[in-house]
Structures are given as structure tokens and as C-alpha cells.
Amino acid sequence: MEGESVLNFGMDRGEGMKRRGFLQWMGLGWLVVAVQACFARLGGGQGASAERVVVGSVSDLAGAGVLERNTALGPVLVTGDAANPESLRAVNATCTHQGCAVKWQAQEQEFLCPCHGARYAPDGEVLQGPAGDALETYSVRVEGTEVLIDA
């Protein structure tokens, strides 16, 4: 036992690799890959940046005070006054109850799900069920003439 490596993984002196050793090395390899994938998913400390998505222009938003766009993130609704960027809010327009598309009700200043009547505040919080979870929200800003969200 003296001088033997703890990590011999089935390698005996003078013999080739045994099946058990091969499987142990494969398991170790998969573990390394899995750990790297987890760190990559979490940003890995490499300054992961948010995805910027252009959802429209200031002129699109100026008229009705609402901008509806289908994006790679799903349907997005941006509400507010483009002249006052602090008033802008962006939500994923998919109802958290059963996935229907919510609509902005300007007079009531709320989002309404036409399928089952769920109501959401401008910040996406649930005002009335049956939905139990808030709408997903995004940071929104104006750069030049473009309205962008960070996802």
C-alpha cells in the first residue's frame, strides 16, 4: 500500500486500464464539464452582461403611451412617457396564470388578462387573481431614438 497513488483509478503496475478505472475517469471528466457549465451559466465571474433588446422607437411609444413588441424574450409591453424615461416600465406580456397575452388598460393604469381577468399593476405586481405570480419585468431606457430593455 505504501507509495500507491490514491487516484490510481484502476491502473495497476504493468497492466492496462481496467473497466472500473475507465468509468471512474469518465465520471471525473463529466464532473469537470458539469462544474464548468454551472459557472458559465452563473456568469463565471467574467462580467456577464445583460442582453440589450430594441423594442421600438420613441415615436412608436409617444402616441399611445404603450409599445407592444414580440421579441426573442417573448411579448413585451413598454408603458410610460418617452419624454420622461423614469416613467417607463417594461413587462413580459405573458400572464403567469395560463400564458394568455395581457393588454395595457390606459385609463385604469393596469394590465388585464382577457382570458381569466387577472389584473396587474404597472410594475407587474398582481392586483387580482387568479394569477399568483407577478409579470416578469425588464429595465427599460431610451438611447437616442430607440427604446431598449435589458434582459
| Tens-digit pLDDT profile for residues 49-66 | 567 888 888 888 877 788
CATH code reported for the domain at 52-150? 2.102.10.10
Asked if the model's pLDDT at residue 38 lies above 90, the reply is no
One DSSP character per residue, 52-105 reads EEEEEEHHHHHHHSEEEEEETTEEEEEES-TTSGGG-EEEE-B-TTT-PBPEEE
Asked if the model's pLDDT at residue 112 lies above 80, the reply is yes
Band of pLDDT at residue 45, cut at 50, 70 and 90:
very low
Average pLDDT, the chain: 79
Band of pLDDT at residue 111, cut at 50, 70 and 90:
very high
Band of pLDDT at residue 44, cut at 50, 70 and 90:
very low
The answer to whether 151 and 140 are in contact (CB under 8 A) is no
pLDDT score for 9: 53
- Fill in the amino acid letter for 34: A
Phi first, then psi: what are they for 85, rounded to 5°? Answer: -55, -25
Q: Would you give the DSSP letter of residue 142?
A: E
The answer to whether 54 and 40 are in contact (CB under 8 A) is no
Asked if the model's pLDDT at residue 122 lies above 60, the reply is yes
